[in-house]
């Protein structure tokens, strides 16, 4: 998606350790018009006719999920990250390792909000090694929900997450695929 790639090129900041910061429009300050344009793009790329629910994970997925759910006129659910082992109530849960924060946490979704009748569009902001995404897919599996598609804003194709998910047979669409980033020159090279 050209608009997004231009924005990443203009405002993205590369940090050591292959970190790409897009705080000015996606992860801290949110450009709502861009989110709306991204939602239109997802809707073009997926068959959305059966979708009953959009699923994302807090925090940075929420804005994108909102814009997509709004256009599809369905609710969205954000999975919650929790470090407590005492999971409250009746939830689907899975363990996720955060690459950025070097820690493990539980991801939970209440059973009330996802079940086997749901057709889900999974939305997340970043896909690198795919840990968070696999967590969301595990939750859909536990619920018996059908995953109709996975929409990611930025995929780092130099990490394995995206390929793994495609090989597992999912329809994954990434709006910007990044082949390489370099913190010294702040150079960002796209793959698509």
111's tokens: 């059973």
Q: Which residues of 80-97 are buried (b: 16+ CB within 10 A; e: fewer)?
A: bbbeeeeeeeebbbbebe
Contact status: 18 vs a second copy (CB under 8 A): no
Query: Is residue 33 close enough to count as binding a second copy by CB under 8 A?
Result: yes
Overall residue count recorded for the chain in this entry: 192
Binding region for a second copy (CB under 8 A) out of 1-9, 32-40, 118-126, 181-189? 32-40
Q: Which one, 62 or 131, has the nearer CB to a second copy?
A: 62
Which two structure tokens, joined as six digits, stand for 82? 């929790």
Q: Which is nearer to a second copy, 81 or 177 (CB)?
A: 81
Q: Is residue 98 within the footprint of a second copy (CB under 8 A)?
A: no
3 state SS of 44 = helix
Query: In angstroms, rounded to a whole number, what is the distance separating the alpha carbons of residues 104 and 28?
Result: 22
In the bound state with a second copy, the residue whose beta carbon lies nearer, of 29 and 192, is 29
143 binds a second copy (CB under 8 A): no
Contact residue for a second copy among 8, 39, 51, 69 (CB under 8 A): 69
Element (H, E) at 7: helix 2-11
Our finding on whether 19 is near a second copy (CB under 8 A) is: no
23 binds a second copy per the rule CB under 8 A:
yes
- The string of DSSP codes covering 92-108 is EEEEEEETTTTEEEEEE
Q: Report if residue 28 touches a second copy, rule: CB under 8 A.
A: yes
Contacts for 68 with CB less than 8 Å, ≥ 6 apart: 38, 39, 42, 43, 54, 76, 121, 123, 151
Per CB under 8 A, 113 contacts a second copy:
yes
- Closer by beta carbon to a second copy, 123 or else 165: 123
Task: Give whichever of 46 and 76 is closer to a second copy, judged by the CB atom.
Answer: 76
Q: Taking CB under 8 A as the criterion, which residues in 45-64 touch a second copy?
A: 58-59, 62-63
Question: Do residues 27 and 125 make contact, with C-beta atoms less than 8 angstroms apart?
Answer: yes
User: By the criterion CB under 8 A, which residues form the site for a second copy?
Assistant: 23-25, 28-33, 35-36, 58-59, 62-63, 66-67, 69-70, 73-78, 80, 109-110, 112-113
């Amino acid at each position: 998606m050209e608009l997004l790639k231009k924005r990443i090129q203009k405002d993205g900041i590369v940090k050591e350790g292959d970190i790409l910061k897009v705080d000015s429009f996606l992860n801290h300050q949110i450009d709502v018009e861009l989110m709306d344009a991204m939602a239109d793009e997802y809707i073009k790329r997926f068959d959305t006719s059966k979708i009953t629910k959009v699923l994302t994970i807090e925090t940075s997925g929420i804005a994108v999920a909102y814009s997509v759910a709004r256009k599809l006129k369905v609710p969205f659910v954000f999975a919650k990250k929790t470090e407590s082992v005492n999971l409250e109530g009746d939830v689907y849960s899975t363990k996720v390792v955060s690459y950025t924060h070097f820690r493990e946490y539980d991801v939970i979704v209440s059973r009330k909000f996802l079940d086997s009748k749901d057709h889900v569009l999974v939305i997340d902001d970043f896909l690198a090694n795919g840990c968070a995404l696999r967590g969301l897919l595990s939750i859909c599996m536990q619920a018996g929900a059908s995953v109709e598609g996975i929409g990611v804003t930025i995929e780092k194709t130099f990490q394995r997450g995206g390929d793994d998910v495609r090989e597992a047979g999912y329809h994954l669409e990434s709006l910007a695929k990044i082949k390489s980033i370099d913190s010294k020159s702040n150079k960002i090279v796209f793959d698509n």
